[in-house]
Amino acid sequence: MSYEQLTADNAAVLFIDHQTGLSTGIQDQSVPEYTIAVTALAKIAKVFKLPSVITTSAADGPNGPILPILPELLPDAPLIHRPGEINAWDNADFVAAVKKTGRKKMIVAGVSTEVCVAFVALSLIEEGFDVYAVIDASGTWNKLVQEVAVARMVQAGVKPMTWVAVGAELQADWRNPTEAEFGRVMGEHLPFYGCLIDSFLAQKA
């Protein structure tokens, strides 16, 4: 095993099927926790200017449209609507958008973890990419399903992560210029960190 850090120059983010209908079925964590994690990951992609790709599956059906926060935060990210392919990697437009990023490290999140995330992650590994699955910005129907999905991906070489870990690895050093922006994301979406900052500021007042 080797360790090469995620950086703003080597990584891209893939948001797979974060759709309104699919999101209502998430039960491996609370829906608010999931929504916070997806929002935070999108903000991290924006802070570090990571190329991002968003995709949906049959968005005109019961899966529903993409969560509005994603195109709102990432208006320049291509939004690929798949008409039927379950594995997004089977869609030529999605593959082209991913390869156009020019990055080899792919940060992946989506719904559901064992299908939409795992299938793409396994396909990316097969294509020679380095893959990071953001589990808290993904969701599925119960905790057992999530655990099985993570185990399958890990066996193939996918690295499970959380949105905080992704952001911290990209930040690398609090003296880097993105410190204020990343700190703001942490404070907004990680309750203890928001309290920590408020306590610090109160002491300085």
Listed range (51-55, 132-136, 147-151, 198-202) with the worst mean pLDDT = 198-202
Residue 198 confidence (pLDDT) above 80 = no
Percentage of the chain with pLDDT > 70? Answer: 99
Instruction: Write down the catalytic residue from 37, 47, 88, 116.
Output: 116
The pLDDT assigned to 205 comes to 65
* C-alpha–C-alpha distance, residues 52 and 45, integer Å: 7
Annotated active-site residue 195? The verdict is no
Q: Name the pTM for this structure.
A: 0.95
Question: Higher confidence at residue 3 or residue 38?
Answer: 38
Tell me the per-residue pLDDT of 44-62, one tens digit each, with 9 for 90 and over: 999 999 999 999 999 999 9
Q: What is the DSSP string of 69-114?
A: HHHHH-TTS-EEEESS-SSGGG-HHHHHHHHHT--SEEEEEEB-II
Percentage of the chain with pLDDT > 90? Answer: 90
Q: What is the mean pLDDT of the chain?
A: 95
Q: CATH for 11-172, among 3.40.50.300, 3.90.1180.10, 3.40.50.850, 2.40.110.10?
A: 3.40.50.850
**Residue extents of the structural domains in the chain:** 11-172
* C-alpha–C-alpha distance, residues 77 and 97, integer Å: 9
* C-alpha–C-alpha distance, residues 42 and 202, integer Å: 29
Instruction: Give Rg (Cα) of the chain.
Output: 17
